[in-house]
Amino acid sequence: MNIYDVSRKAGVSIATVSRVLNGSPNVSDRTRNLVLEVMDELGYTPNVFARGLGLGTIQTIGIMCSDSSDPYLAHAIYYLEQGLRGHGYDSILCCTGNSLENKQKYFNLLRSKKVDALILAGSKFIGMKPQDNDYIIEAAGELPVMLVNGFLEGRNIYCTLCDDRSATHEAAGRLISSGCRNILYLYTSQSYSGLGKLHGYQDALSGCGLPVREDYIRQCPKDVLAARDLLMKLHDSGLCFDAVMTSDDTLAVGAVKYAHATKRSIPDELSIIGYNNSSYAVCTDPELTSIDSKIEALCTTTINTLMGVFNGSNVPSRTTIAADLIKRATTKF
């Protein structure tokens, strides 16, 4: 079943069939309808490969992420996939882990599949060492590269970012206003967005004349129990803190567990603020105050920008979206 079958049955040439397939205006309504009918009757579907060969590309976008099972990225993938499909694009997903080698390998793979653009989801995608990002710059030489919650400057690179820095700035400010003086900051990784969050926290402290102490800023694996244990250790070591801010809800859940274990009351003795406003936020008692990083908005904006790029609109290479502070019960405000 191919284009010839349709053309034969409709009594037209394959060129005409191809034209209606591609929505060309150079077909009379009569023939168009005729061909459409025949296609329907025959249940004809054009062969993607032949189409791709002829057109040099097919409507698909490559999505790369470090780990699709991470809740944050899982949501991103969901919104991206749905959004792209809404615009008539398919997506190919590649999970790279954090290995640079994989990233390059999968980039080549996607390139060989002639994807029309690359979407890199998650701040983990941008390495801290500039040379780790060379492959992205290189990729951008061939096709548009969209970063979801990551930042990198370069031609043909478009970033959609959450204003993490303002968000943690505001959140920390609220903690301070509500009486907290020793705010611990826990983060999972040194990504671009991770740094932004940290800076916001630091901004707030120095803005209020509080000292920014290195031992109040701690890295921790993205794991509930690891966070709890780290806090227990800090507690035992005599460090005083009356609030914990985290770069991820996972760590904040660990903080709640720490408070339970040490019988510190939340929020009276310990305030806690998470990040991402994920489904973890309502799992704890009391429920987590958390910063909503607007993943859905990030994804839809990314896709809109991409569509803009495709049809030659003048789109900004960088869009920032404001985060929301979702107040629940682990803070006094």
Partner DNA sequence: TTATGAATTGTAAGCACTTACAAGTATTTT
Partner DNA sequence: AAAATACTTGTAAGTGCTTACAATTCATAA
**What is the contact surface with a copy of itself in residues (CB under 8 A)?**
45-53, 58, 67-71, 74-75, 77-78, 81-82, 85, 90-95, 108-109, 111-114, 224-225, 250, 253, 256-257, 260-261, 279-280, 282-285
13 touches DNA by CB under 7 A = yes
Q: Which of 19, 75, 294, 328 lies at the binding interface for DNA (CB under 7 A)?
A: 19
Q: Does 51 bind DNA (CB under 7 A)?
A: yes
- The residue from 9, 31, 262, 332 that contacts DNA (CB under 7 A) is 31
Q: Which C-beta is closer to a copy of itself: that of 70 or that of 242?
A: 70
Q: Which residue lies nearer to DNA by CB, 41 or 268?
A: 41
Q: For 189, how many CA atoms within 13 A lie in the half-sphere containing its CB?
A: 14
Region from 10-18, 166-174, 247-255, 280-288 binding DNA, contact rule CB under 7 A: 10-18
Residue with smaller CB distance to DNA, 47 or 98: 47
Q: Which stretch binds DNA (CB under 7 A): 16-24, 93-101, 125-133, 277-285?
A: 16-24
Q: Which does 307 bind (CB under 5 to 8 A by kind): a copy of itself, DNA, none?
A: none
Task: Tell me whether residue 44 or residue 241 sits nearer to DNA (CB atom).
Answer: 44
Angle between helices 224-236 and 249-261 (to 10 degrees): 50
Q: Choose the contact partner of 221 out of a copy of itself, DNA, none; CB within 5 to 8 A by kind.
A: none
Kindly state the smallest distance separating residue 70's Cβ from DNA, in Å.
36
Query: Nearer Cβ to a copy of itself, position 91 or 246?
Result: 91
Q: Which amino acid is at 274?
A: G
Q: Is 59 in the site for DNA (CB under 7 A)?
A: no
Separation CA 243–CA 266 (nearest Å): 9
Residue tagged 């040379």 (tokens): 131
- Contact between 154 and 140 under an 8 Å Cβ cutoff? The reply is yes
CA distance 166 to 331: 18
Contact 255, 229 (CB under 8 A): no
> Tokens 């408070």 correspond to what residue?
259
Q: Which does 28 bind (CB under 5 to 8 A by kind): DNA, a copy of itself, none?
A: DNA
Q: Rule CB under 7 A: is residue 25 a binding residue for DNA?
A: yes
Contact 67, 97 (CB under 8 A): yes
| From the list DNA, a copy of itself, none, partner contacted by residue 176 (C-beta under 5 to 8 A by kind) | none
User: Which of DNA, a copy of itself, none sits in contact with 75, Cβ below 5 to 8 A by type?
Assistant: a copy of itself
What does 226 bind: a copy of itself, DNA, none (CB cut-off 5 to 8 Å by kind)? none
Query: Per CB under 7 A, does 12 bind DNA?
Result: yes
Residue 318 binding result from DNA, a copy of itself, none, given CB thresholds of 5 to 8 Å by partner type:
none
Contact footprint for DNA (CB under 7 A): 2-4, 11-19, 21-22, 25-32, 46-47, 49-51, 53-56
